[in-house]
Amino acid sequence: MARLYGKDISRDYLTRRIGHMSQIGGARAYELTSGQARGTQAVDVRTGSGFDFTVLPGRGLDIAWATYRGMPLGYISKSGVVAANRFTEDGTIGFLRNFHAGLLTTAGLSNIGVPCSDGSEAYGLHGRVSNTPAEDVSVHQDWQGNDFVITVAGVVRQARIFGECLVLRRQISTKLGDSRLVIKDTLENGGFSSEPALLLYHCNFGYPLVGPSTRLLTSGGKVEPRDASAVPGLPTHDRFQEPTAGYAEQCFYHHLDGKRGYAHAVLFNADIQLGAYVRYKTDTLPMLVEWKMMGEQEYVVGLEPTTARLEGRTDVLARGGARMIEPGEKVSFEVEIGVFEDIDELDKA
């Protein structure tokens, strides 16, 4: 049953009062036609609660814009959305020129983290999956009992002759009245050689959610600086500041405690009484990266469930830090992103 306008509303109650569900919420597919985004498939999703977001099938089924009651949640970089056909895998710069950030940018599938080389092949920052258009895209919206369920799904394939064949099947779903979405991914090794499962969910939050009154809360556990440059920031990793000229990004690895197989990280801004959370299954996503970037224009906090560290494919494989997927094997992942107005709602969420 949908929670709308301060009360629980049944299917019968609602459908007697409207002619088409698009009056209240739903999904609408279209194509971006302007500037560097030209040709990118997009799907706007409205839940009716004030939680709206845009899925980009043309960019690996990532999520660009997201708002809650008109207030932006995600961070959009100064590049804006750039079409996948403008991407060139070129060290760090190739990815960054196409990195709109958004509520979700997926990293992988053969590399997450820094550029590196493995044998004769060079891998750019965070891989290619976010710049790969999805195929077999579907949008489904219909009643399931008293729940109106909205789902955007598709397949992202990364494959080449004499190389890997990795197939990511993604489903993003929400319900009428909800202020959350759930991403369910299945990664399949469709080739005949073992491959590492390298996948990172780069969830990016920005102004006005991020500010000096924002705090990071987690389900508990250990935290460590990613490198020497982040060591001084460890005592204040859960607090934030005004945009600062010359700020150098800091990253922290969180090894969070799970509850019933899930862990979570929350950003809550007490001044505006708004929070957002990332909740994920810990069996296949054992770690969360916190990306703290307090610069001018680059003012963003990333909460990033991941399968491995950010030191790049070569380093991760050398340390045995990645799960290997055998030919024909499938691995499932689940990430939930939501928003709330009262810190007491967190336990309910």
pLDDT band at 344 (very low <50, low <70, confident <90, very high): confident
What pLDDT, on a 0 to 100 scale, did the predictor assign at position 72? 98
pTM: 0.97
Whether residue 25 is predicted with pLDDT greater than 80 in this model: the reply is yes
What percentage of the chain reaches a pLDDT higher than 90? 97
Its domain, for residue 111, covers: 2-348
* Each residue's pLDDT tens digit, 304-337: 999 999 999 999 999 999 999 999 999 999 999 9
Task: Give the CATH number of the domain where residue 337 resides.
Answer: 2.70.98.10
Q: Convert the chain into a string of H (helix), E (strand) and C (coil).
A: CEEECCEEECHHHHHCCCCCHHHCCEEEEEECCCHHHCCCEEEEEECCCCEEEEEEHHHCCEEEEEEECCEECEEECCCCCCCHHHCCCCCCHHHHHCCCEECEEEEEECCCECCEEECCEEECCCCCHHHCCCEEEEEEEEEECCEEEEEEEEEEEEECCCCCEEEEEEEEEEECCCCEEEEEEEEEECCCCCEECEEEEEEEECCCCCCCCEEEEECCEEEEECCHHHHHHHHHCCECCCCCCCCCCEEEEEEECCECCEEEEEEEECCCCEEEEEEEECCCCCEEEEEEEECCCCEEEEEEEECCCCECHHHHHHCCCCCEECCCCEEEEEEEEEEECCCCHHHHC
- Number of structural domains (the chain) is 1
Whether residue 349 is predicted with pLDDT greater than 90 in this model: the reply is no
